[in-house]
Amino acid sequence: MPVTRGFFRKRPESPAGRLPPGQYDTGSGWPVLTAEATPRIRPEQWSIAVDGLVERPTTWSWDEAHALPRSSYSGDIHCVTTWSKFDVTFSGVSVDELLSAAGPGDDARFALVHSSTGYTTNLPLADLTGGKAWVVWEVDGKPLPTQHGGPARLLVPHLYFWKSAKWVSRIELLAEDQQGFWERNGYHDRGDPWLEQRYQGD
Ligand SMILES: Nc1nc2c(c(=O)[nH]1)N[C@H]1C(S)=C(S)[C@@H](COP(=O)(O)O)O[C@H]1N2
Ligand SMILES: [Mo]
């Protein structure tokens, strides 16, 4: 009986298995989604603050942030407008590093993340801890382009990409959830792409 060669060979992993429901692979493209005018921020003007319900409100300059232990993410990102992008590498600092310096208070449960432009987005604090969130200034080994949030943006790749605030300037810890820009306009407070939490009520 003839044996079909390759019959038992493992099929390459279907990219569909990496795509959350309702998403498509944007391939080599990287759409730009910006609600406000793109700001030009020189690195020496940029800083990141962690404040609100913390023991030690702390601000890091560009140089101070770069002196912290470097941390990277390689993987996929998912935008609520249905594009996903596979295998992007971002580098910067883990949000855990910033939080451990600032010392979240016992009553800190949520974060409102601010951009210097006024854009805001809210997250449960638990989505910013445990190696799941970064402040990044490099993508695929190059400085983060201005239109993608350079000199530095938040990166929370396990949630829809609107949570990844471009031109991030401040992480404010809160006891109660306080909605950000898109959340006030109907987007979900958490935004897990695997649960398809696109809109309020999903
Ligand atoms: N400051 C700021 N950050 C932002 C946005 C924005 O409009 N302003 N858009 C969000 C949305 S909806 C998405 S999908 C991603 C888009 O990032 P990109 O333009 O680098 O693809 O940034 C998020 N962060
Ligand atoms: Mo988005």
Q: What pTM did the predictor assign? A: 0.93
> Which of 28, 32, 33 has most ligand 1 atoms within 8 Å of its beta carbon, as the pocket-test mutant?
33
How many residues does the structure list for the chain?
Answer: 202
Beta strands of 24-70 (E only): which ranges? 24-25, 47-52, 58-61
Q: What is the pLDDT of residues 104-140, one digit of tens each?
A: 999 999 999 999 999 999 999 999 999 999 999 999 9
162 alpha carbon to ligand 1 midpoint, in Å?
5
Fold for domain 44-176+184-195? Sulfite Oxidase; Chain A, domain 2 (3.90.420)
Ligand closest to 30 (CA) is 1
Neighbours of 29 (CB within 10 A): 8
> Which of 90, 153, 162, 167 has most ligand 1 atoms within 8 Å of its beta carbon, as the pocket-test mutant?
162
Q: What is the pLDDT of residues 22-64, one digit of tens each?
A: 999 999 999 999 999 999 999 999 999 999 999 999 999 999 9
**pLDDT grade for 17, boundaries at 50, 70 and 90:** confident
Spatial contact of 131 and 94, defined as CB atoms under 8 Å apart: yes
Q: Whose CA is nearest to atom 22 of ligand 1?
A: 162
**Which positions ≥6 away from 97 have C-beta within 8 Å?**
68, 69, 71
| Confidence (pLDDT) at 8 | 45
Query: Is 10's pLDDT higher than 50?
Result: no
Report how far residue 163's alpha carbon sits from residue 37's, in angstroms, rounded to the nearest whole number: 18
| Confidence (pLDDT) at 4 | 47
CA-nearest of 33, 17, 76, 20 to 196 is 20
Spatial contact of 162 and 154, defined as CB atoms under 8 Å apart: no
In the chain, what are the domain boundaries? 44-176+184-195
C-beta 164 within 6 A of ligand 1 = yes
